[in-house]
Amino acid sequence: MLEVTVTKTSPASTLLTVSGELAGSGSERLLSRLDRLLDQGHRYVVLDLSAVTFCDSSGVSALVRGHARASAAAGGLRLSAASDQVARVLELSGLSRMLGLKPAVDAMGAVAP
């Protein structure tokens, strides 16, 4: 089960802490949460992935779609603090570079252009 929690928010960005498995229905849960935040005017989102234990292709797809939705809303999506397994998946898929994977959580100001 994937849990997504708004941990911190400021005018610069919003930090979401994601925990559990980023797969299957969890991927849709993350996208739904991102959609709600974007609809509420949060443009720049940082995902803290330190508590994500597994990421499959549906998780990768959710991150790509989340990035596209944030970009379409004139914002951005960044990743931080991924576990070794998740970091490896992000490296192999090219998302670590595309989404600016940081080794530690840096929520405030980390996403804004």
What letters, b where the CB count within 10 A reaches 16 and e where it falls short, cover 27-58? bebbbebbeebbeeebbbbbbbbeebeebeeb
pLDDT band at 111 (very low <50, low <70, confident <90, very high): very low
Q: What is the pLDDT of residues 24-80, one digit of tens each?
A: 999 999 999 999 999 999 999 999 999 999 999 999 999 999 999 999 999 999 999
CATH fold of the domain at 3-102: Transcription Regulator spoIIAA (3.30.750)
pTM, rounded to two decimals? 0.87
Q: What's residue 106's pLDDT? A: 61
92 to 57, 59, 70, 87, 105: CA distances (angstroms): 11, 13, 22, 9, 21
Q: What's residue 5's pLDDT? A: 93
3-state secondary structure of 90: helix
Judge whether 67 and 77 are in contact, CB under 8 Å. yes
Does the structure show a pLDDT above 90 at 103?
A: no
